Structure 1
Amino acid sequence: MTRLAARALLAVVFWPSLFFFWFLGPFVFLLLSTTSSEVCPRLETRAEFLAAANATLPMLAVQGLVYAVPILCLVLWERLLPEPARARHIATCVKLFAVTIVVGALWAYGSSLMCDGYGQPFFSPVWQWTSYLPVINIAINIPLYVLTFSLGRAYSTREDVPAGDATLPDQIVP
């Protein structure tokens, strides 16, 4: 497989995964969460709360793997076309992504522990601080989205045709 074909294949995976997983994924995972309004009132003991919170861990692992697809595409693009300037940006993307995964997992796990249908303080009030984590996650995700989008755009455009030399179909002379 040529480098151009590999880059095109990565672009076919990168763009749909970026838009569907990163932009629509949070809504789907929110709908699948175990802390829905039907589950919370049925939890009465500390063990039930802990079991509900621990049940979110496999979903959080799957969510992290799904969200990692665009980052993996960027890493593979860098392996195909190594550039030191882009490598630093990809390293920044990986670090920001790791931080957002940790913050998101803490928020999801903490919100599972806070979901007390009867106002009973089963767990430490420290878990209530996790309600502020989505704000932190958004502050980290905005630069991550912009950087990932710009890197994806840079890698998925063809470099063998200069922008100034591009001809329109009606300008081609036989």
Structure 2
Amino acid sequence: MNALAARALLAVVFWPSLFFFWCLGPFVFFLLSTTSSQVCPLLERRAQFLAMANATLPMLALQNLIYAIPIICLMLWNRIVPEPARAKRILTCIKLFLASAVIGAVWEYGSSLICDGYGQPFFSSAWGMTSYLPMVNLVLNIPLYVLAFSLGRAFSMREDDPVQDQGGTLP
């Protein structure tokens, strides 16, 4: 497979994953990775709250793996078409993504632990502070989205000469 075909294949994976997973995914995954509001009033003991919050951990791990697909595409694109300036921007993307993933996981785990306020007597009030983490996550995600979009656009644009691909002159 030549480099152009590999770049096109990565673009087919990158763009849908960027838009569907990063733009629509947070709404779906938040609902799936937190304790439901119907279950919360039924929980009576600290161990029950803890068990429900710990049950969300596999979904949080899966969520972060799925969110990593655009970052993996950027890293693969950089292996196909290496460029030092883009490599530094990809490293910045990775750092922003890791910080965002950790903050998002703490927020969703804390939301499950507190369970809409029902678990507050059982746990430290610090877990209640996780309700402010979406604002921090937004501050990290805006530059991450812009950087990933611009890198994806730069990598998926055709940079080679079309005359060279056809083996001669244009018709």
2:134 maps to amino acid: P
Equivalent-residue separation in structure 1 for 2:115 and 2:28 (angstroms)? 19
Equivalent-residue separation in structure 2 for 1:81 and 1:130 (angstroms)? 40
RMSD of Structure 2 on Structure 1 (CA): 1.8
- The Cα shift of 1:43 comes to 1.0
- The Cα shift of 1:117 comes to 6.0
Q: Cα 1:22–1:119, aligned 2, differ >3 Å: closer, same or farther?
A: closer
Query: Does the residue aligned with 2:121 lie in a helix, a strand or coil?
Result: coil
Q: Cα 1:83–1:111, aligned 2, differ >3 Å: closer, same or farther?
A: same
1:127 counterpart residue number: 127
Q: Cα 1:89–1:54, aligned 2, differ >3 Å: closer, same or farther?
A: same
Q: Cα 1:49–1:119, aligned 2, differ >3 Å: closer, same or farther?
A: closer
Structure 1 residues 34-53: aligned runs within 5 Å:
34-53=34-53
- The Cα shift of 1:27 comes to 1.2
Q: Tell me how many residue pairs correspond in the alignment.
A: 165
2:14 maps to amino acid: F
Query: Does the residue aligned with 1:35 lie in a helix, a strand or coil?
Result: coil
Unmatched segments (≥5 aa) in structure 1: 163-172
Unmatched segments (≥5 aa) in structure 2: 163-169
Equivalent-residue separation in structure 2 for 1:90 and 1:36 (angstroms)? 36
Query: Does the residue aligned with 1:82 lie in a helix, a strand or coil?
Result: coil
The answer to whether the 8 A contact 1:41-1:116 is kept is no
Is 1:11 the equivalent of 2:11?
yes
The answer to whether the 8 A contact 2:33-2:60 is kept is no
The answer to whether the 8 A contact 1:13-1:73 is kept is yes
- The Cα shift of 1:116 comes to 5.8
